[in-house]
Structure 1
């Protein structure tokens, strides 16, 4: 084919390709161009400004109306694993889901289950005893009521957790209640309660209250000697009881997993919140008594002054 015949065909192909490229470029610009941006235009008159304000007011009204139907969850109110230690749940708000999430239902091997733990066992799965949380929840709330009652009467409470992972738990729980709560994070010294004169000295043992009103044990088995001393001194005890432990060793058992740090944080947090509520009730009672005494003194003073004038 001669060159004269090829040139018209090449010119037509080039013109077609330029047309296609221009169409593609314009289509791309239209595709990625914002529809709202194309409709926007500057405000040219007072009517435009008034219409803009009305549209904005309508949008704000719609947002305010539908905001109550949306989610209110934020980063601040979303649950995090460390909240069981720093933001414990109140006893009234505790649920089975929270206990289940903390692993409180895991017991020990079926071969290690104590026969007296049978009423608190839900069953066995894969050779592991499953704790019945339907018993754990009411017993935990009962223990919380005991802690609240002791704190409301001005009693002293001791948290005992001698494992390394339980030391910050008992410390935080005691700090949450206040000055009437104490914690033992190291080894329980034998004779702390039964040999108080030697442990604290005769002056302190006679002038100060060294016997607590309530002892809470997060790991009872390594602290059996502490439970014995509490029994000798008639101190009520609360303890987390696993499937390999006899529930009768403490006065108020809480059947749960005693090897889980999260379970210990949850239970200690619930009990400490109950103790804090009891401390608040005790402070209110003291304030009422102080007010009543001051009113009685004022009435007696007024009566004496009236008698003196007569």
Structure 2
């Protein structure tokens, strides 16, 4: 049984050529390990290969295919200018989610999800604006003109706002998709996205309900290496989409330049019907 994931790796290595990741990396990161058999959701049965020593083993063939589908969605989303909100408030995910999302200029929530972050976005945005205002006061020195006690209170407010909202500081509109590292932990975030029709990409372990997720990635959501690896894969797909958009823009610009150049060298006006008739009459008179 231990050889089965390795056989799957050999058969499906090519799926990741574009994404720049190998099945070997997935295996080494423990992506295929699920939860204990007594802690499972029957809806995940179709993604499970077998059980070993009381632990469910995920079907790597299906994991590979669904990662590929998720990456294609992310690539197309990125190419059209869409933004992703990464959500990972669990300890194992916080550092990698914050780092990876920032590297691709997307957004993240790595501490407690505040209820209404999506469904009551207007109020959340007002708190973000308050954070920006407090930072400005600190930077331009206007904060120093306030009484010391008030300065301390405002800085405590600023620290709290920054803790929960720093990752969405630049998010001036609702995201175009969510990437979630733990469906159970981020249940409220998933529910809010579902209500607003925002697509959800998620790492879904054997103890989770896959139904609310648009792009299920059956994988281990507890191992730090597994979470980081899949997060990086999503980020790489996003970067590919950005490159695709740039290539399209450059191609369109080049085509316009060619058309402009061609039009300038060979442009002429066709004669109107009346002009053509006048020309014929002149020719007949000359004859």
Cα drift, residue 271 of structure 1: 1.2
TM-score, length basis structure 2? 0.67
Contact 1:193 1:230 survives alignment (8 Å): yes
Q: CA distance change for structure 1 residues 297 and 152 in 2, over 3 Å: closer, same or farther?
A: same
1:114-169 deviations in whole A, cap 9, x for unaligned? 11110111111221111111111111111111111111111111111112331221
Aligned to 2:109: 184
- 2:94 pairs, out of 167, 192, 201, with 167
Task: Please say if 1:118 is aligned against 2:33.
Answer: no
Aligned to 2:28: 101
- 2:184 pairs, out of 216, 221, 238, with 221
Supply the distance in 2 between the matched residues of 1:212 and 1:239 (Cα, whole angstroms). 15
Supply the distance in 2 between the matched residues of 1:243 and 1:147 (Cα, whole angstroms). 24
CA root-mean-square deviation = 2.6
Aligned to 2:198: 235
Supply the distance in 1 between the matched residues of 2:40 and 2:119 (Cα, whole angstroms). 31
1:87-133 deviations in whole A, cap 9, x for unaligned? xx865443332211111121111111111110111111221111111
TM-score, length basis structure 1? 0.62
Cα drift, residue 230 of structure 1: 0.7
Aligned pairs, number: 212
Task: Please say if 1:255 is aligned against 2:180.
Answer: no
The higher relative CO (CA closer than 8 Å, separation ≥ 6) is in 2
Supply the distance in 2 between the matched residues of 1:153 and 1:240 (Cα, whole angstroms). 24
Q: CA distance change for structure 1 residues 242 and 279 in 2, over 3 Å: closer, same or farther?
A: same
Where does structure 1 lack aligned partners over 5 or more consecutive residues?
1-88
What is the SS of the residue equivalent to 1:143? helix
Larger Rg: 1
Aligned to 1:195: 120
Supply the distance in 1 between the matched residues of 2:46 and 2:206 (Cα, whole angstroms). 10
